[in-house]
Amino acid sequence: MTANVPLNELGEFLKKRRSELSPRTVGLPETDRPRRVEGLRREEVAQLASISTDYYTRLEQGRMQASAPVLDVLARVLHLDDDERGYLFQLAGKTTTRARRRGRQKVQPQLQRVLDDLTATPAIVQGRRGDILAWNALAAALVTDFSRFAERHRNYPRIIFTDPAMRTLYADWEGSAHIAVAQLRMEAAKYPEDPRLIELVGELSLRDKQFARWWGDHHVAARTVGTKTLNHPVVGELVLDWDTLTANTDPDQHLTVWTADPGSPTHERLRILASWAADQDLPASSTVS
């Protein structure tokens, strides 16, 4: 029954988070008694949250909803960060609402104008599920020519796991791919019945053991800021800061830009890459995803 999907996900999330905590981490005394499970026991979480073990067990089994005050306490007990706390509340808050059918996204005109004006800065627009809605020529030169992918497959998590070139491009491919999975997990909390997201997760889980393992870990992350090192085949090493801006007209659309400190080697190499991209006539695009 689809109505139970978020409750089951919430239970799995709670299990994973308590398995990563030791009694010492949460201030409980260590004992010599062997532990049959990794991390905290259910009764220990219940004790710390001042709820009954039966109540907490029902939460983990997906058999009941938690109130907002209980979620607050569990977030504190399990040492959740802001992203994980938001994910927990999203899972709990969607169990009584039915997902709306959503049409295909088109890049917002405001974001497209920004892309058109960015000639020296790589930038892409991502939609739901990490779909690539639009990009500029320098982003195509930096990451990949997104136009070579079928529209349905123009998706960042899918590309990073299925395109062998990505494993060479990203100096820390595992770190970048792990973040992509965590961001997709956050999307799944917002739209647990999205058929394209379910299809994407199923495909990648079958194709890649690392994706399947990381998906099962239930780590989550929002699209915010960070730094990536790329080993670019044309200009060499690039150390880039990335930042994400969300469209007010459609909160499910995010503009991601890559920048470098003025005067740095990466800044100069981006200029060289922009010149190379102009010679290659790489296409920018605003196609829907």
Please report, rounded to a whole number, the percentage of residues in the chain having pLDDT higher than 90.
Answer: 50
HSE value, Cβ hemisphere, 13 Å, CA-based, for 258: 25
Q: Bridge partners of 131?
A: 155
Check: CB of residue 18 under 8 Å from CB of residue 53.
Answer: no
Each residue's pLDDT tens digit, 208-261: 999 999 999 999 998 888 999 999 999 999 999 999 988 877 888 999 999 999
Name the residue with tokens 């999907």.
5
> Whole-prediction pTM value?
0.77
What distance in Å separates the CA atoms of residue 208 and residue 151, rounded to the nearest whole number?
Answer: 22
**Residue 4: pLDDT band with limits 50, 70, 90:** low
Check: CB of residue 110 under 8 Å from CB of residue 279.
Answer: no
pLDDT at residue number 33: 64
pLDDT at residue number 5: 65
Query: At how many degrees (to 10) do helices 209-217 and 173-190 cross?
Result: 50
What distance in Å separates the CA atoms of residue 90 and residue 93, rounded to the nearest whole number?
Answer: 5
pLDDT score of 287 more than 80: no
DSSP H helices in the chain: 5-19, 42-49, 53-60, 68-77, 82-93, 109-117, 137-142, 156-162, 164-169, 173-190, 195-207, 209-217, 265-280
